[in-house]
Structure 1
């Protein structure tokens, strides 16, 4: 009787698929090894018939992938040698989108260039109706500026395609956020 092993990792495993020395053959069918990890984003998370009805935006991901096609290599699957399935490009895009929104929220009235503290305060307003529709999912921040109930893509390195295959989405609260996307006013204790 052969044993089966499942290796579970956090988001740092997202770069495995682009690591040249990665041992794809160890994950081939019949090897008895499965790897699953939490990815910060995946292109397939908000598409298809089983996509969640709340918490993410297929339109926001399409806008991102259109930019990739327009300014990248002409292929929506990669920017240069970086696969969109490793989440780095998506998260970088969402990080910039968040910073730009906070800056725009801070430039009111005569303020042309906000102070850093004004931008940080602008982040605190990114929830509810002011949430951002990022390419990875909604960007809703709590009153401390931390992500609230952010979707996590669970993926598996696929030896056949040599890329991360999307499996499912998971949320810290166990379900997608409500359309109001408002965090509770207390810090969770653990």
Structure 2
């Protein structure tokens, strides 16, 4: 990362950066200068120019600069900034909910039906296939399904319909919850209102 002298002057001590402009003010010659409380001047060219030309007066000026320097007070975020950050938070919470999947008992075994975006597409396809098999009168457990545990199950078409219906309803419920929370963010009138909005 390269920064200007003006950046450095405004921000105080910054390590591991590259000097790209020759300093204009005397105290700016000290890029790499004061150690702890000793105010000891250190010659170095690691980050840019040699500082041999500094006078005692200039060094003292640097010491005084660092002793009086304080980082600028942070600017409080606006309500719009807080809302934007909350949207990002809710988006991540929604993704996490999809990734967590739906706890579901399959053939008597507790497992997880995955409900990520790519899983939704698979679930829709399995439901259509199961509906077609049901219409054809097939009731045997001929439909393979692999859950999050990596266990393979054989389901009847009706079992597959029940499973995919539950999983797709779970996905829709997550979307609904996300939309409601985002609407609440839109309607928030204060920072406290935004902060109070949390994913359940």
TM-score (norm 1): 0.23
* Structure that is richer in strand per residue: 1
Flag the structure with higher helix content: 2
Structure showing greater radius of gyration is: 2
Provide TM-score, normalisation by structure 2: 0.22
